Amino acid sequence: MVFPALLRAADVPRRYLPPTWTLEVPPAVRLEPVTAMELLGGPADQAVAVRDIASGVPALNTVIIRELPALWQTTTAVSQAGQGSLQATCEVVSEQGTANRLSLAGHPESEIPVQVLSSPALAVAALDASVRHQGGVTLRLDLGHARYAGTYTGRLTVTVVSR
């Protein structure tokens, strides 16, 4: 079974930011399709499926990881950048409003669990009077709960705060 396009597009709404901040995020995020090789647990050059001894059925890798290393970036004034580091949190919500889940397009009651791991905000550039920070997210998609192949969607929210 191949899951052609696991996440169609996730909206990334902008949260309130102080007037001297700008937050840049893509309007939609589309993950790479899950391949048969990922489900079989190896790259294309190692296309050997591990079989369950009792049933003879190949054991599938049910957790798929997708990394979005540069999901967002923000520019802050140098005076604010020196006050503390930035912390970003990301969360995924299904079409049904369930946290940490994605919904099957057209069948929002069919959901799969998603674990969201935010990466630390890193200063990537020093500009004239400002500093640019960037961050990302790793998504752990649990396909063991998927009832159907197809496109799974949800809303991805990014919140960046100064600590």
Q: Judge whether 86 and 76 are in contact, CB under 8 Å.
A: yes
Predicted confidence (pLDDT) per residue in 65-88, tens digit = 999 999 999 888 776 555 567 888
Pick from 37, 34, 146, 148: nearest CA to 101: 146
**Angstrom distance (rounded) from CA 120 to CA 135:** 6
Looking at residue 98, its pLDDT comes to: 95
Which segments within 1-85 are labelled E, that is strand?
A: 7-11, 22-24, 28-29, 63-77
Q: Judge whether 3 and 61 are in contact, CB under 8 Å.
A: no
Looking at residue 28, its pLDDT comes to: 85
- Count of helices and strands (H, E) across the chain: 2, 10
Amino acid at 39: L
Q: How far is CA 13 from CA 5, 16, 22, 28, 90, in A?
A: 22, 10, 13, 10, 11
pLDDT per residue rounded down to tens, the chain (163 residues): 333 333 333 333 444 445 456 677 888 889 999 888 888 876 544 545 555 556 666 678 889 999 999 999 988 877 655 556 788 889 999 999 999 999 999 998 999 999 999 998 888 888 788 888 899 999 999 999 998 989 999 999 888 887 7
